[in-house]
Structure 1
Amino acid sequence: MALWAKAQQLPPDSVHLQHIRDIYGEHFPIEVRHYLAQFIEEKFWSEVIPLQDTPAYEQYVSSLVNQFIQEIENKAEGSTEASEYFLIKLKLAEAAKMFRQRYSANPMQLFNFIRQCLAAEMKFLQAAGADFMGMAPALAMSNSASEVLHKLDDLRRRTQATSEDTRKLEQEQEAFALQYHECTKVNAHLQQLKNQGGPAAVQDQQTLQYINRKEMLEQELNRRVAGLMELRLKITEKLRQTYQVLTQLQSQIIDEELIRWKRDQQLSGNGVPFTSNLDQIQDWCESLAEIIWHNRQQIKEVERLKQKLALDPPGVVDVLPTILTEITQLLSSLVTSTFIIEKQPPQVMKTNTRFLATVRLLVGGKLNVHMSPPQVKVTIISESQANLLLKNDKLLKGGDSSGEILNNTGTMEYQQTTRQLSVSFRNMQLKKIKRAEKKGTESVMDEKFSLFFQSQFSVGGGELMFQVWTLSLPVVVIVHGNQEPHAWATVTWDNAFSEPGRCPFQVPEKVPWPKMKETLSLKFKWATGRGLTDDNLRFLAEKAFRGNYNETTNNLLSWAQFCKEPLSERNFTFWEWFFAIMKLTREHLRGPWVDGAIMGFVKKKQAEEMLSTCPAGTFLLRFSDSELGGITIAWITDTQEVFSLQPFTAKDFSVRSLADRIADLSHLVTLYPDTAKELFFQKYYTPYQDQQQPINGYVRPVLVTQVLGLGGNYNTPHHNVFMSPDATRDTPSVASSYAGSVATTATGVGGAPMGHMDYLDGLDETSYVGIDLNEFMGGYNR
């Protein structure tokens, strides 16, 4: 009860306490929050929950919500002698019944709402200066969810009130019709008396009675007419106000929450963590659709009643048709805006390769669209076609596409348990692509396309027909794997720096370095498991700006600097270099990188200066400047010289891992600055028995890394933790700072040490600089 206890300590007149009270209403009585405070905070906040989007998570939520409702029922059935508690028990019982009716089929909605309420409480208590040391971590949610729910409750109350007024209007009109009919009958009797003969006294008496009756009825009719006019004006004004509140709330949900979800979805393509709240947004949109539909029906009903009894004086403008048009347009906007791509297609798309995507209609369940399931068609369009589409807001014709997609049609299906109307395209394949003419330095990897999803369906028994469409995030189409790096450059730039509401698919030509470095770090973390340090990012800035980087100035990195212009004295661009390192780290170096064993982004000269003051055998790992996707080992010798091995690449690590290569080299003792290498790398060593496992009856040879002249450690299963370099050995005499490394084939049986090949002993080690060692040893291994 730590959170609720803090709330109760706030002064009664505190604005923050009032905000907390406002969180709760008919949808979640504050009495439930109070009497089940401990259960709510322990189960919905502090307890560790399973990972989302897993069966265990859904089962956990369902069980917890059921347990929560049971707790409320138990509380309501508890015995007490306090008479004032009787009303509380009734309130709790009503709440339990309401929760069961509303959330039994969708426990996730109640689960998310309770967590949002707790987050809102935390926000207001933090604003009030409450101390939360030692409490559970705050839930990273805003108060917007609670605000939306309150507005929806307000709209439901408004709609209910208007519905009652409409029923009253119908009853009043029926009563007026009866009295009007009675008045007509009295007039008919009067007319009949005038036409009949008879004693004058009797006729005058009857006539007077009917005249009095007529006057009374006419007075009552006039009163009813005034009441009807007033009631009609009241209903019209209520409908107008409801429409205004609906417009504001729909804008908040569609233009803020859903647009934010789409932006977060796009940023997730660059590695930004993405916690989807699409189910919550669907709940809001469904509630909106339901309320809009009810108000639309009410407007039509009031119009029907008005036509049944015309009372408006001449010249009075009936505003109901205008409100009906506006609220129908509001519904249309809601439907078309909630036709969204839940799972985006790959943004780098290779021809003749299978891919998938999922489209979802958030309001499909409430509007019963699934009763006649709509079909969805997918085409690929160019940037210029996307521009025309947005300008004209019309569906494309059959031939308006930029390629051919197989398996590009599907029927939306409704899942009763999740209340989702969606279609998953699991076997789409791009067979052909039509490209635009290139200008200047443009390449096919700069060209952006988009997948265009379109459908049409009717609601209300065919009363309204909707044509809906949506565009995927930009995709770059490639035909060969070597086009992938540049394609990802285009996608990464677009995801990170595109502005909301842009013309497809415009992006800035230059971006501030702070935004770029954030993008690079997130991208690297998403791919490798660990982001980049400030030192790493300064190194990257120096590289990207070709040495012209100044932290005190507003540095703008251009698209050309990013991925068009080669780096100084290199034949590759900054992005190609960065992408190759990211790929190498993801595929072969992830563990050591996450552990912090790889320094990585450091200049060669700086690495030499760092090692120059270290004991012999100290080494560090840095990414190569000269070779794409390469990593080198720099170490200091007994003579205080610093050498670097020829860079290892993915091809090398596919033969023998980095950890095993470091284990092979006994002169590598301490990882910079002062950690024994086994503490970082031993857990990644390949077990000796795995290396010696026979294949088809043959003993498998093992490739062992060796730097000639420095000896090697070939007793793989017994790596010494602290192994000093041999002081008597010869230091390699190399012409450059790269010492050649060779992969030596060795075998061992029964744990016997494996020796290197004798015929290599007499060779000059400097002759191996730059040789592809796997290729060099290929003939021997065969």
Structure 2
Amino acid sequence: MAQWQELLKLDSVLQNQVRQLYEGRFPTDIRHWLSNWIESQDWGAAAVDENAAGTCFQALLEHLQDQWTRSIQQNNILQGPNFSGMRDYVMENFQAQPMNLAALLSECLKEEKKILASVKATLPCSSPVMTPQWIDLDNKVTQMKLQIAELKKEVKTLEGLNEKLHFIQKMWQSKVEQDVGLAQSQTLVEQECLKRETFITQTKHIVLQQLVTTLNQLAQIVTTLTSVELPEWKRRQQLACIGCPEDTSLELLQKWFTAVTEVLLGVREQLQKLKEQNKKYTSSDSASLSDSLAEFDKFTLSLIRKLLTNALVVEKQPVMQNLPHRPLILKTGVRFKMTVRFLANLPVFKDLLKVKPIFDKDVEEVKTVNGFRLFDFNLDDSKVLDVDTPDGAMMAAFEHMSLKEKKARTKGSCEPYVLNPLMVTEELHIIRFVAVLHLAGETLDIEASSLPVVVISSSNQVPSAWASIMWFNMLSTSEPMNLSLFVDPPPLSWQQLASLLSWQFLSMGQRPLDQDQLSMLQDKIMDYPEDLVHWNKFSKDESVWIWIDGILDLIKKHLSDLWQHGYIMGFVNKQRTSSLLQNKPTGTFLIRFSESIRDGAITFSWVDHSTGEKRVHAVEPYTKKELSVLSLPDAINHYTLTTQGRSSNPLVYLYPDTPKDAAFGSYYTVPGPSTNKNMKEYVQRRLAVVSINPTPPPSPPRDVPQMDVDTVDPNTDFFQRLEEILSDLLELPEWSNLQLFPQESLNYPVFPLQNEMDH
């Protein structure tokens, strides 16, 4: 499908974003009516080659002329597009510089692709795309359903043949006893019965052969489901938990598990009927048939056991309400929720499975010099799986789970410890769900495990805990999970870390990192491009992750729309900024993240040629506290630079050449000067962000004091904990507007809630 046709299917917000790419630069009518032709040209090559640009330009004029000629021939001048006007526009604006046209279209086509990519990355997984592997498996499962239906017919036919033969034998014997003269026909009847017995024996062999074929095929399918498809789904879920746009829907797996379970139960049912027939209608091969049926039944039970003991899965991993983008981080005393699903969704199993969560079941805790912590659930939250869900899934939602610390071992313990201590944010724990299923005289012990979780006691520990979650799930791909991974954590390659970081920005801001942004981060993180990234380098010792996490939080709270639409270049250092801006017109600016403020801040740099020299200036970075008062678009719109007694806004074009108002106009919330005629007697006022003189020398880094992630200050954490408890109990996302009690009733100083939340 043409790229433009895909863009036309987007919602109005995204279509407006596309429109802004062209506004004031190129008519969208031309882009629309010539979409296929425009997308077929190599504008990237033409943007850097004057001859190629001239060739593309002439081809465009000829194509427009051809379209105009066709409109005349079809008598469609008034109703159709104005191709003649389009041709005139192109000649007037780009004939002198065709490379400008090529550069513009090359850039716009790339930005269109980014918009489409961001949409595809966030689409809900309602109908998974069938891969060839899945199509093949789906066909095999369908074939099994047909085979069991055919087997039922064969068994029923066999039963009819046995009944008829038994009837003939009994009725003939009765008639001979009543009429001795019929004895002379005994030989004929016996011959007929022998023929029927032979046919029945042949039919039995056919049925048994069908059973062998069906069971072997079922064994392959069960192995594929439990050893291939289910582990692959669990891996996709692992990556999705750390931001990767993976399809984690369970519809196909549930369909296959349910269908194969139904077929296996159908096989057992037919085996039982064959056993009953063999017992009722004895023959010379009854003993051997009985042994074969017993062996088949045992094998069928083993397949059922293997399938059903793998059918319980954690559909939604543990997540706290106030950290929806960061699952697997749990805080003591704070509610979290998770969901389990039984994939073999048959009515026979309804209300038979009671699922109980157990914390750290069968886990031997890692022993460190700091001891290790033990936890338990505050409530016994066992649930029976049911199908009272809109999609009919057999599941249980555990929505009110919370943890309490049960016991801790300290340095005084005489047990041996490893030399490498673990921080609390490196301790990995696990939640298991256990259930018992009684089926056909068999007892099946069924379990499902969550991914490893990190238990924190302070919100200050979230960044470090999330680093552990990301690192583990990027590295660990096998079961049982290695909960001791951080005793000796393996390194990541740059490719792995680049993907991981890009997913974080996609998750928080609906836009991944591009190659230029990743290149800047690579230079900041790694000493040499070919190096591996080690855990201590990433997470400790003045960690670069804390800086990145601060920027993610900044995007989430204040910049999500601007980041999603690509207005923030973000990760670009000062040298690269100067290189990009120095040949641009005066007032061209770009937006980048501060490298000196570890808690996350943003600034903009612009180029100035007014003095005859190329100079690039930068404004003092805006922090979260400042952006909570004034949005970045309003700060850009009202920014004022005062030099030599003259004041003006130096910001004109967002890099590379988008007019400032075209990019940010829809985000302005603070009005400009008043035009009310009744206010003439007043001096007009407006909100302004003012800088005196050009950019001063860079100030020293404003580092945020590093927190000890293993300790909690009860005074500074008080409001944060209170907010979590109240929002948890009342299920409110915020309570900053809720008046709980008069301030004068408090015996301790009252601090602004927003400041505490920022802290």
Q: TM-score, normalised by structure 2?
A: 0.63
**Residue in 2 aligned with 1:294?**
266
Q: Distance in 2 between matches of 1:373 and 1:520?
A: 44
Of 376, 384, 388, the residue aligned with 2:363 is 384
Q: Distance in 1 between matches of 2:365 and 2:252?
A: 30
Amino acid at match of 2:268: R
Of 566, 576, 580, the residue aligned with 2:546 is 576
1:449 aligns with 2:420: no
Deviation at 1:215, TM superposition (A): 3.0
1:647 aligns with 2:617: no
**Residue in 1 aligned with 2:670?**
687
Deviation at 1:293, TM superposition (A): 1.0
Q: Which moved more, 1:171-180 or 1:590-599?
A: 171-180
Amino acid at match of 1:706: V
Alpha carbons 1:632, 1:645 under 8 Å: kept: yes
Query: The residue matched to 2:430 in structure 1 has which SS?
Result: strand
Alpha carbons 2:456, 2:462 under 8 Å: kept: yes
Of 436, 453, 469, the residue aligned with 1:475 is 453
Identify if the C-alpha distance between structure 1 residues 530 and 438 changes in structure 2 by more than 3 Å, giving closer, same or farther: farther
Alignment of 1:291-440 (within 5 A): 291-312=263-284, 316=288, 318-346=291-319, 347-364=328-345, 366-370=346-350, 372-381=351-360, 384-385=363-364, 402-406=375-379, 408-415=381-388, 418-432=391-405, 439-440=419-420
Alignment gaps of 5+ in structure 2: 12-126, 320-327, 367-372, 410-416, 642-649, 676-684, 703-751
1:603 aligns with 2:592: no
- How much is the aligned-residue C-alpha RMSD, in angstroms? 3.9
Identify if the C-alpha distance between structure 1 residues 160 and 672 changes in structure 2 by more than 3 Å, giving closer, same or farther: closer
Of 163, 169, 180, the residue aligned with 2:158 is 169
**Residue in 1 aligned with 2:602?**
631
Query: The residue matched to 2:605 in structure 1 has which SS?
Result: strand
**Residue in 2 aligned with 1:225?**
197
Identify if the C-alpha distance between structure 1 residues 225 and 242 changes in structure 2 by more than 3 Å, giving closer, same or farther: same
Q: Distance in 1 between matches of 2:392 and 2:701?
A: 64
Amino acid at match of 1:482: N
Q: Distance in 2 between matches of 1:155 and 1:357?
A: 34
Alpha carbons 2:588, 2:607 under 8 Å: kept: yes
Amino acid at match of 1:558: H
Q: Which moved more, 1:165-174 or 1:408-417?
A: 408-417
Q: Distance in 1 between matches of 2:151 and 2:585?
A: 85
Of 229, 251, 257, the residue aligned with 1:285 is 257
Amino acid at match of 2:590: L
Equivalenced residues, count: 540
Of 655, 661, 676, the residue aligned with 1:678 is 661
Q: Distance in 2 between matches of 1:145 and 1:617?
A: 55
Alignment of 1:441-520 (within 5 A): 441-459=421-439, 463-501=441-479, 503-505=481-483, 509-520=490-501
Query: The residue matched to 1:511 in structure 2 has which SS?
Result: coil
Could you report, residue by residue, the CA deviation over 1:175-199 in whole angstroms, capped at 9, with x for unpaired residues? 3334444676699799xx9xxxxxx
Deviation at 1:487, TM superposition (A): 0.9
1:267 aligns with 2:267: no
**Residue in 2 aligned with 1:705?**
689
Whose radius of gyration is greater, 1 or 2? 1
Q: Distance in 1 between matches of 2:242 and 2:282?
A: 63
Identify if the C-alpha distance between structure 1 residues 502 and 407 changes in structure 2 by more than 3 Å, giving closer, same or farther: closer
Q: Distance in 2 between matches of 1:221 and 1:354?
A: 74
Query: The residue matched to 1:359 in structure 2 has which SS?
Result: strand
Alpha carbons 1:155, 1:246 under 8 Å: kept: yes
- Aligned-residue identity in percent: 26
1:665 aligns with 2:639: yes
Identify if the C-alpha distance between structure 1 residues 316 and 291 changes in structure 2 by more than 3 Å, giving closer, same or farther: closer
Alignment gaps of 5+ in structure 1: 3-44, 51-137, 194-205, 388-399, 567-571, 693-700, 711-730, 741-774
**Residue in 2 aligned with 1:216?**
188
Alignment of 1:716-755 (within 5 A): 731=694, 734=696, 736=698
Q: Distance in 2 between matches of 1:703 and 1:453?
A: 57
Deviation at 1:242, TM superposition (A): 0.9
1:525 aligns with 2:506: yes
Amino acid at match of 2:505: F
Query: The residue matched to 2:356 in structure 1 has which SS?
Result: strand
Of 173, 183, 208, the residue aligned with 1:236 is 208
Identify if the C-alpha distance between structure 1 residues 313 and 152 changes in structure 2 by more than 3 Å, giving closer, same or farther: closer
Could you report, residue by residue, the CA deviation over 1:618-660 in whole angstroms, capped at 9, with x for unpaired residues? 4332222222112233344555444433332212212222222
Could you report, residue by residue, the CA deviation over 1:530-579 in whole angstroms, capped at 9, with x for unpaired residues? 1111111111111111x322xxx4x4322232223x3xxxxx21222211
Q: Distance in 2 between matches of 1:504 and 1:446?
A: 12
Deviation at 1:605, TM superposition (A): 2.8
Q: Which moved more, 1:522-531 or 1:274-283?
A: 274-283
Deviation at 1:664, TM superposition (A): 3.4
Alpha carbons 2:467, 2:539 under 8 Å: kept: yes
Could you report, residue by residue, the CA deviation over 1:175-234 in whole angstroms, capped at 9, with x for unpaired residues? 3334444676699799xx9xxxxxxxxxxxx6xx63x43333433343333333322222
Relative contact order: is structure 1 or structure 2 higher (C-alpha 8 Å, sep ≥ 6)? 2
Amino acid at match of 1:576: I
Q: Distance in 2 between matches of 1:410 and 1:298?
A: 34
Deviation at 1:470, TM superposition (A): 0.3
Alignment of 1:147-186 (within 5 A): 147-181=136-170
Deviation at 1:483, TM superposition (A): 0.7
Alpha carbons 1:407, 1:427 under 8 Å: kept: no
Identify if the C-alpha distance between structure 1 residues 339 and 47 changes in structure 2 by more than 3 Å, giving closer, same or farther: farther
Alpha carbons 1:562, 1:573 under 8 Å: kept: yes
**Residue in 1 aligned with 2:124?**
none
Alpha carbons 1:622, 1:631 under 8 Å: kept: yes
Deviation at 1:251, TM superposition (A): 3.1
Amino acid at match of 1:540: L
Identify if the C-alpha distance between structure 1 residues 428 and 703 changes in structure 2 by more than 3 Å, giving closer, same or farther: farther
Query: The residue matched to 1:556 in structure 2 has which SS?
Result: coil
Q: Distance in 1 between matches of 2:215 and 2:674?
A: 74
Q: Distance in 2 between matches of 1:170 and 1:441?
A: 70
Q: TM-score, normalised by structure 1?
A: 0.62
Identify if the C-alpha distance between structure 1 residues 584 and 407 changes in structure 2 by more than 3 Å, giving closer, same or farther: farther
Alpha carbons 1:379, 1:405 under 8 Å: kept: no
Query: The residue matched to 1:170 in structure 2 has which SS?
Result: helix
Q: Distance in 1 between matches of 2:255 and 2:701?
A: 64
Amino acid at match of 2:195: R
Alpha carbons 1:377, 1:455 under 8 Å: kept: yes
Alignment of 1:544-559 (within 5 A): 544-545=525-526, 547-549=527-529, 553=530, 555-559=531-535
Identify if the C-alpha distance between structure 1 residues 386 and 148 changes in structure 2 by more than 3 Å, giving closer, same or farther: farther
